């Protein structure tokens, strides 16, 4: 890549220099070097603007937005994508316009600007339907469901996820089907319909196992454990979360591991096995501290303290029962 770039610079071939810079940006992105990717893409952007190449400019702005998204710098991602959106509208490139609108919607969700996200996603949906892009239509409907879910408007979210599920099944997109089913499960839990949640998550689990998607399988197992906990099915909670924990450890997914440990501790709590509950919470706490996640560390530390308080009271009750001549 660098050799090609040097040749184009020597020949003063500005257009191909910009192409080579963007290709170099792709390479840096794949190597996990986003800051260097930003550097070379900014150089490409300057060249496209110098050449008044609007298509190249819009594509590079979109790529810059993608890099900022990978860095969780969503405000910057939106800034670049909005510039790309103006150009695609000028060029009447409807497919690219819709793609950028969808990306703007997702970034807005991450920033908790949910009303703005809905505005972007509804515009994207109109275009995806116009150009008959069924796959993007399904994912945009799904993201609309996410925005409504984050607003606590669960009934509306449920309707969008159901539409997404129908579309994913029609186009035989199994991964999309699993996503929609899990989202339906989450919303069902939000509506306290835990039996329905379990039904949806179990269907998603079967799909992810077919696809050999270990990450999604683990998260679905976690969700199943949480739903069973809410129904008081504590043995089931343990069963699902133990499977999730094993998968997260196998994949070295530390955040997932900590979440599975906390969900597993809930099962032990429900079964009044307070020492096991504390053991798992403390393991989760160690992970959050290792990751320097102060918010999760604080939350988990408080839960450990509460568990020790309950264990102390429980042990005192056992002593009192024994002294009164009652078996535990």
Each domain of the chain, given as residue ranges in start order, spans 1-92, 234-328
State the pTM of this model: 0.87
pLDDT band, very low/low/confident/very high, at 317 (cuts 50, 70, 90): low
**pLDDT at res. 310:** 75
The chain-wide mean pLDDT, for the chain, equals 94
pLDDT value at 324 more than 80: no
Over range 265-270, report the average pLDDT: 95
Query: Does 78 score more than 50 pLDDT?
Result: yes
Whether pLDDT at 97 is above 60: yes
328 pLDDT tier (thresholds 50, 70, 90): very low
What's the topology of domain 234-328? 1.25.40
**Mean pLDDT across 232-256:** 98
Residue burial 232-271, b: 16+ Cβ < 10 Å; e: rest? ebbebbbbbbbbbbebbeeeebeebbbbbbbbbbbbbbbe
Local confidence band at 304 (pLDDT 50, 70, 90 cut-offs): confident
Compute the average pLDDT of residues 24-52: 97
pLDDT range class, residue 318, cuts 50, 70, 90: low
Averaged over 52-56, what is the pLDDT? 98
Query: Do 234-328 and 1-92 have the same topology in CATH?
Result: yes
pLDDT of residue 162: 99
**234 pLDDT exceeds 80?**
yes
Q: How far apart are CA 45 and CA 68, in angstroms?
A: 15
| CATH classification number, 1-92, choose in 3.40.1440.10, 1.25.40.10, 3.40.50.300, 2.60.120.620 | 1.25.40.10
Q: Which of 50-64, 112-126, 173-187, 303-317 has the lowest mean pLDDT?
A: 303-317
> Which is higher by pLDDT, 312 or 94?
94
pLDDT of residue 86: 99
Return the half-sphere exposure (C-beta side, CA atoms, 13 A cut-off) of residue 86: 7
pLDDT at 220 over 80: yes
- Taking CA atoms, 312 is separated from 229, 274, 317, 318, in Å, by 23, 9, 9, 10
End-to-end CA distance of the chain: 73
* Mean pLDDT on 258-274: 95
Residue 303's pLDDT band (cuts 50, 70, 90): confident
Instruction: Indicate whether 251 pLDDT > 90.
Output: yes
């Amino acid at each position: 890549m660098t050799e090609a770039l040097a040749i184009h610079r020597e020949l003063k071939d500005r257009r191909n220099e910009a192409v080579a810079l963007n290709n170099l940006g792709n390479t840096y992105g794949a190597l996990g070097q986003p800051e260097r990717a930003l550097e070379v893409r900014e150089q490409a952007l300057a060249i496209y603007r110098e050449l008044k190449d609007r298509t190249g400019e819009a594509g590079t702005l979109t790529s810059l937005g993608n890099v900022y998204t990978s860095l969780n710098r969503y405000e910057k991602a939106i800034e670049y994508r909005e510039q790309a959106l103006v150009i695609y509208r000028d060029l009447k490139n409807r497919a690219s316009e819709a793609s950028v609108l969808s990306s703007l919607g997702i970034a807005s969700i991450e920033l908790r600007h949910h009303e703005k996200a809905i505005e972007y996603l509804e515009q994207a949906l109109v275009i995806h339907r116009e150009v008959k892009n069924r796959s993007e239509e399904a994912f945009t409907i799904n993201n609309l469901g996410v925005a409504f879910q984050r607003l606590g408007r669960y009934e509306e979210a449920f309707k969008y996820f159901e539409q997404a599920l129908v579309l994913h099944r029609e186009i035989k997109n199994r991964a999309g089907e699993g996503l929609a089913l899990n989202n339906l499960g989450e919303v069902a839990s939000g509506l306290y319909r835990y039996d329905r949640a379990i039904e949806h998550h179990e269907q998603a689990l079967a799909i992810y196992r077919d696809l050999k998607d270990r990450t999604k399988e683990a998260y679905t197992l976690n969700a199943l454990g949480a739903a069973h906990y809410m129904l008081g099915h504590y043995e089931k909670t343990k069963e699902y979360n133990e499977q999730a924990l094993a998968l997260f450890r196998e994949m070295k997914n530390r955040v997932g591991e900590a979440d599975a440990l906390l969900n597993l501790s809930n099962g032990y709590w429900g079964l009044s096995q307070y020492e096991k509950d504390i053991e798992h919470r403390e393991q989760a706490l160690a992970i959050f501290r290792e990751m320097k996640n102060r918010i999760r560390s604080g939350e988990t530390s408080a839960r450990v303290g509460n568990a020790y308080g309950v264990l102390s009271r429980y042990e005192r009750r056992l002593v009192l029962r024994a002294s009164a001549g009652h078996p535990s």
